[in-house]
Amino acid sequence: MKILLAVTGSISAYKTLDLTRELKKAGHQIKVILTKGAEKFVVPQVYKYLGAEAVYSYQSDFKYPNVLHVELGNWSDIFVIAPLSANSLSRIVHGEASDLLTSVFLALKPNVPTLAFPAMNTQMLDHPFVQENISKLYKLNSLSQVFIHPTDSGELVCNEVGEGKLPKVELILDFIEAFPIDKDIIGDNLLISTGATIAPLDPVRFLTNASSGLTGFQIAKYALSQGKKVKVIAGKYATTKLEHLNAHPNFKLVRVVTTKEMKEEVFDSLKEYPHYVSSAAIGDFSFKSSNQKIKKEFMPNELEINYEGDILKSVIESKLPSKVVGFAAESELTEKVLIKKFNSKPVDLLVGTKVNNGLLKDSQLQGFSNNNADYLILDSYQHFTKANLSKNQLAQYIVDRM
């Protein structure tokens, strides 16, 4: 992706140095525009050391042999303004073309999205003029893709506590990658379950597994980038990276604890989300739990359990979703094992992976939490695919085939 990053005059401008490095590591092309105010906080040349192809000053438009603001507007897939100061916000919404940033904004094609990440003092952010300007910028979304990300709250550089902080670099990176760069993409609503469910025994003890929910997160992020509306039903302790997508206009996140809660949420969502990816590591049973901690002297040798049923099988039998992707996390993964699972739960795509929680002696952690894993994938035509994929590559494989 070709990312044009505009940095304005805010103390949080220094975070965009890390952002540039992370964008480059993720394989993106970056060019940087600095406003006059930004140059008071950061050194332009550092961006080049961190991977930017070019860095432009606020006056570069008047020195460049070509029409730079048009050239950069045509080059970019996405225009990111981070941080966006109150001053630059005001100049943008009033249609100024007084420096390179404002000129580029006016020269962008309608299909090039603009993502703005404001950062300023809480009182400035709450001022009626600033709020009016934010509202004006939102109204532009009917003409072009403009999105303003909410600020974070916390301790500000002025030692006050409140709204106005620039979000973390990791969040900005994930959000940029999740934003569709083609406005004409028409997506199908996608429901994803991810992470582990929990079977409580008492207020202290519970049974769960090591599923991180990262696979579901990557599927959600890639699906959003393809223009789909996505709902994720995640286990309580699934990755907090899912919250990085909360502000996305096409994203919804619901967290659940037990298998029963996940099943209810899945079936409540299927009418609105016709495609279902069951990537969650769902527990098969629950305990007859106690409201008080069970003392050791009263702990039975055998625990009474209840079978919770198979959510994926129930979904298939309901015939509500038009397409279904299932996952099989196995300690011993073979074609025979996968075919047996497929015959009992015929899905459009069955993704098998060999996993281990890494807690047992001589075991090696594979699949759970690891970014790369060996996958054995079976499609509805009984065709097997073997591949070592990152979670991001697996996400693209699944969504593209749905």
Could you list the active site residues? 158
**Rounded alpha-carbon distances, angstroms, from residue 136 to 5, 93, 127:** 21, 6, 14
CA neighbor of 216 nearest in space, from 191, 248, 199, 237: 191
Query: What whole-number distance in Å separates Cα of residue 225 and Cα of residue 28?
Result: 14
Measure the CA–CA gap between 230 and 269, rounded to whole angstroms: 11
Cα angle 92, 97, 102; round to 5: 45
Show Cβ contacts of residue 317 under 8 Å, excluding neighbours closer than 6 positions. Answer: none
Using CA atoms, how far apart are residues 101 and 59, in angstroms rounded to an integer?
10
- Residues with Cβ within 8 Å of 213's Cβ and at least 6 positions away in sequence, in order, are 194, 195, 196, 234, 235, 238, 239, 242, 280
How far is 224 from 204, CA to CA, in rounded Å? 37
Residue 197: closest CA among 205, 189, 186, 209: 209
Angle of helix 311-318 relative to helix 259-269, nearest 10 degrees? 20
Phi, psi (rounded to 5 degrees) for 142: -75, -20
Q: Are 38 and 46 in contact (CB under 8 A)?
A: no
Rg, Å, the chain Cα set: 24
**Phi-psi sector, 36: left (phi>0), alpha (psi -120 to 50), beta:** alpha
